Amino acid sequence: MDVSQFRDTDSGTMVPTIEGMQAFIPNKLPPELNLGNIIVEFGEASAALGGLREIGSTISNPYMVIRPLQRNEALRSSAMEGTFSTADDLALVEALDETTANDSAREVLNYIRAIDYAIEQVKTIPISHRIIKGMHSVLLKNTTNGRAANKRPGEYKTQQNWIGARQIKNARFIPPPPKQATDCMDDLEKFINSDLGAIPPLIAAGLCHYQFETIHPFGDGNGRVGRMLVTLQLLSRELLDSPLLYVSPYIESNKDEYIDAMFAVSAKGDWERWLRFFLITVKESCIETSKTILKLNALQERYRGLLQRKSKSVSALSIADHLFERPVLSITDVSKFCNISYPSAKKNVEQLVRLGILQQVAGLENPKIFWAKEVIDISDGR
């Protein structure tokens, strides 16, 4: 790490670490801010967030749209960290025995489970070490690849880590050593749960995201956990009623600017650049999420209209609605969640196939598996 780039910063301090290198320790939050310089971006992001919240309030079953949004978030956030899977693979892993899945698909599924875990936790307890470590534990559960398998799931780092190179001497950035990182996380936990005073909760979420990524408290998974925290903070501060906003798709498309903007805070104390990027991320993510919700609603209405014209089966309508939460299923699955006989479930599935709502997955015969490709494609941004 080029220490000279941090010589004039007022965002933190440098301390010695391994191999004669220097690590950066961020100052406690909050910094001094002139919010007047980002008032336009703040206003636009707040309006977009309010619009998304309003759209969310009209959805009878929010998880019909939440689950597809989470799939897209999991795929994009994991891709940023070098874990690549597809929406098709993820949907199949959700429905089938995940022990047969490859590591990448399993890690992406873990991301969804980590989000679910955290959302359930914040209903009863504040964002804390317990929740953050729990998210990390779920995220890296049963991973066997070399990058994640030995990274102490659910525990903060015990060794110095670094960013941007294989060797520390070539690193672009070196976060706090383990002991200081734990101290920094203590301070971050206090800030997350503090009375923010004049700091708007949306701005606080941006401050916390920078702080978490700069601390880099885990051996692996920091980026993914940090992006989950954005959604959690918006929920805990009641800026959202349900977990509809996920920022990874926009960040993945603007990854270099994302990294550079955070680096500029550490190296130059340029909070305005980072917060401007964060607020634009929130605005654009809200806009895209709203479009996705409208597409999913339109698809549901099309399915319902088709079935009302072509079918007299109440179960067929239930199956069609269920596909938005779980787009891959077997006849046995249908029999269980509709509480109908296997022959009746088979008849309903066959009708959905004839109408083009379901397609049989090629190569899977025992049992036969069916999927709603249109739902999967929308959740993948296609």
Q: Check residue 72 and give its pLDDT.
A: 83
Residues 227 and 73: their CA atoms lie apart, in Å, by 9
Q: Indicate whether 71 and 213 sit together in one domain.
A: yes
Cβ pair 259, 186 in contact under 8 A: no
Q: At what angle do helices 129-139 and 103-121 cross, to 10 degrees?
A: 160
Report CA-CA distances (Å) from 332 to 113, 277, 310, 336, 372: 24, 47, 23, 6, 16
Report CA-CA distances (Å) from 324 to 70, 242, 297: 12, 17, 10
Q: Indicate whether 207 and 325 sit together in one domain.
A: no
In CATH, what number is assigned to the domain containing residue 254? 1.10.3290.10
Please choose, from the candidates 58, 115, 41, the residue with its C-alpha nearest in 3D space to the C-alpha of residue 277: 41
pLDDT digits 0-9 by tens, 15-43: 999 999 999 999 999 999 999 999 999 99
Cβ pair 357, 313 in contact under 8 A: no
Measure the CA dihedral 140/240/79/171, to 10°: -80
Q: Check residue 216 and give its pLDDT.
A: 97
The tokens for 121 are 């936790």
pLDDT digits 0-9 by tens, 317-360: 999 999 998 899 999 999 998 999 999 999 999 999 999 999 99
Band (pLDDT 50/70/90 cuts) for residue 177 is very high
Q: Indicate whether 25 and 110 sit together in one domain.
A: yes
Q: At what angle do helices 255-268 and 201-215 cross, to 10 degrees?
A: 80
Burial of residue 154 (number of CB atoms within 10 Å: 0-12, 13-18, 19+) = middle
Q: Check residue 183 and give its pLDDT.
A: 98
Q: Check residue 149 and give its pLDDT.
A: 44
Q: Indicate whether 268 and 349 sit together in one domain.
A: no
| 297 found inside a domain | no
Q: Check residue 148 and give its pLDDT.
A: 46
Q: Check residue 145 and give its pLDDT.
A: 55
Q: Check residue 97 and give its pLDDT.
A: 59
Give the amino acid at 152. R
pLDDT digits 0-9 by tens, 71-117: 888 888 888 877 767 777 777 777 775 555 566 777 788 888 999 99
Please choose, from the candidates 248, 162, 244, the residue with its C-alpha nearest in 3D space to the C-alpha of residue 209: 248
Residues 6+ apart with CB under 8 A from 231: 115, 119, 240, 243, 245, 246, 247
Helix, strand, or coil here: 373?
helix
Lowest mean pLDDT among 140-154, 205-219, 339-353: 140-154
Cβ pair 188, 156 in contact under 8 A: no
| 141 found inside a domain | yes
Q: Indicate whether 120 and 179 sit together in one domain.
A: yes
Q: Check residue 233 and give its pLDDT.
A: 95
Q: Indicate whether 258 and 363 sit together in one domain.
A: no
Residues 72 and 86: their CA atoms lie apart, in Å, by 10
Going 47 to 53 to 57 to 61, the CA torsion angle's sign is: positive
Q: Indicate whether 326 and 286 sit together in one domain.
A: no
Buried b (16+ CB within 10 A) or exposed e, 64-102: bbbbbbbbbbbbbbbbbbebebebbbbbbbbbbeeeebe
In CATH, what number is assigned to the domain containing residue 353? 1.10.10.10
Residues 25 and 80: their CA atoms lie apart, in Å, by 24
The tokens for 75 are 């795929």
Buried b (16+ CB within 10 A) or exposed e, 317-352: ebbbebbbbbbbbbbebbbebbebeeeebbebbebb
Q: Indicate whether 12 and 48 sit together in one domain.
A: yes
Report CA-CA distances (Å) from 271 to 260, 285, 313, 376: 12, 21, 58, 38
| 246 found inside a domain | yes
Q: Indicate whether 166 and 219 sit together in one domain.
A: yes
Q: Check residue 258 and give its pLDDT.
A: 96
| 301 found inside a domain | no
Domains held by the chain: number: 2
Q: Check residue 340 and give its pLDDT.
A: 95
Higher pLDDT, 147 or 294: 294
User: Mean pLDDT, to the nearest integer, of 295-306?
Assistant: 92
Residues 315 and 335: their CA atoms lie apart, in Å, by 10
pLDDT digits 0-9 by tens, 238-276: 999 889 999 998 999 999 999 999 999 999 999 999 999
| 305 found inside a domain | no
Residue 16, strand partner residues: 22
Please choose, from the candidates 30, 85, 75, 349, the residue with its C-alpha nearest in 3D space to the C-alpha of residue 206: 30
Give me the chain's average pLDDT, please. 90
Buried b (16+ CB within 10 A) or exposed e, 293-306: bebbbebbeebeeb
Q: Indicate whether 253 and 339 sit together in one domain.
A: no
Q: Indicate whether 203 and 235 sit together in one domain.
A: yes
Domain containing residue 219: 3-292
Residue 330, strand partner residues: 369
Q: Indicate whether 120 and 160 sit together in one domain.
A: yes
| 159 found inside a domain | yes
| 143 found inside a domain | yes
